[in-house]
Amino acid sequence: MTVSHNKSRPVRAVVYGVGEMGSIVTRLLVERGAEIVGAIARSETKVGRDLGEVAGLGQLLGVTIEDNPAAVLRRGADIAVVCVGSYLETMRPHFAACLENGVNVVTIEEETVFPWTTAPDHAKFLDLMAKANGVTLAASGAQDVFWLNLVTTLLGASHRIDQVIGHSVWNVDDYGPEVARHLHIGTTREEFEQHVADHGWPEFVARQTLEAMISRLGLSIGSINSTVTPLIVVEPVYCRALGFEVPPGALIGTVDRTEVASVEGPSFSFTMEGRIHRKGEVDSNTWQVFGEPDLVLSNDRVPTRFITCSTLVNRIVDVIEAPPGLVSLNMLGAPAFRPRLVLNAADETFSKST
């Protein structure tokens, strides 16, 4: 009988961003046995307080929230779990602070799912920085399981694919004021359309998801078309994230849709409907595959906010063990449940091959 003498130790993590999502992540890290070595936030109401208190855990963790990322990131963390923003342009300095200090990053920032065409300069910069420091940057979340890996697994039953159509509904109120403001909740149709005309509308998750899917399938992109449509409320509805009632005639969300035609023939479309839920409404995901055979994948009552965090936490060891660089979601294998967040201590440096 061979006896293994390999030892393991808990993952050492930094919570970077202690809002709605970062608070859920904190609880999951604690319950999975990770060692939280620091927490970073910018709000004056949070800095200086204990992470457990701010995250609503009902216990103190002995981790003080700080606003100096460099100081926190020099404490020997294996990974920073970053829950701050949605686009690579605004997240670049946050990611760079982690990477230059030799800390891996897993993030809910959606564009990093597949940033190579929507933010190529930022992606290249961060990819080179990560490789130079021997660490990895990757994104995960609900799209990892429900919009990519479940769908590509379903497509494994296809003989011929003509068209893939996805539709997701999610509750804006679950993600705090930053996301609600991004979707211009409470503005008029005219104000929203003027904003889009003046500033454009950044492609939000749907495109990145489809590009990751198409890349995973080994297909090539022929053309891409993205649109955004405002959702206007008829009756007043309360926005919990912003703390006011949205009046009739104002926005309660948007519909983002991306259509992709592949060079090889199959076409793909994905519609994301982000809006304030009213009583009785729930998140859902549906994917239809037309070809031989026709297939349907449907997930009702999906707790999108929670599974974004739980998938992110399950991905931590995958990211630490991945090759250095910016690793888009199509480059990672399928996620799996990890009952404990531990690493092999045989190699304390956890060096990565380039």
1 assigned to some structural domain: no
103 assigned to some structural domain: yes
CA distances from 279 to 171, 234, 236, 282 (A): 11, 15, 13, 9
Of 105, 69, 213, the C-alpha closest to 154 is 213
Is 15:26 a contact under the CB 8 Å cutoff?
yes
Which residues are registered as beta bridge partners of 14? 38, 80
Which residues are registered as beta bridge partners of 227? 257
Considering the domain architecture, whether residues 64 and 151 belong to the same structural domain is answered as no
349 assigned to some structural domain: no
Q: What's the number of domains the chain is made of?
A: 2
Considering the domain architecture, whether residues 242 and 123 belong to the same structural domain is answered as no
Helices 20-31 and 304-314 meet at what angle, rounded to 10? 50
51 assigned to some structural domain: yes
Considering the domain architecture, whether residues 127 and 259 belong to the same structural domain is answered as no
3 assigned to some structural domain: no
Determine whether 120 is exposed, middle or buried from the number of CB atoms within 10 Å of its CB (0-12, 13-18, 19+).
exposed
Considering the domain architecture, whether residues 97 and 111 belong to the same structural domain is answered as yes
202 assigned to some structural domain: yes
Is 235:185 a contact under the CB 8 Å cutoff?
no
Q: Which CATH number goes with the domain that contains 80?
A: 3.40.50.720
Helices and strands in the chain: count of H runs, count of E runs:
12, 17
User: What does the chain come to in residues?
Assistant: 354
Which residues are registered as beta bridge partners of 290? 163
Considering the domain architecture, whether residues 153 and 279 belong to the same structural domain is answered as yes
Q: Digits of tens for pLDDT over the chain (354 positions)? A: 444 456 899 999 999 999 999 999 999 999 999 999 999 999 999 999 999 999 999 999 999 999 999 999 999 999 999 999 888 999 999 999 999 999 999 999 999 999 999 999 999 999 999 999 999 999 999 999 999 999 999 999 999 999 999 999 999 999 888 889 999 999 999 999 999 999 999 887 899 999 999 999 999 999 999 999 999 999 999 999 999 999 999 999 999 999 999 999 999 999 999 999 998 999 999 999 999 999 999 998 999 999 999 999 999 999 999 999 999 999 999 999 999 999 986 544 445 644
Considering the domain architecture, whether residues 165 and 94 belong to the same structural domain is answered as no
Considering the domain architecture, whether residues 183 and 281 belong to the same structural domain is answered as yes
157 assigned to some structural domain: yes
- Phi and psi angles of residue 250, each rounded to the nearest 5 degrees, phi first: -110, 165
236 assigned to some structural domain: yes
Domain range holding 196?
143-303
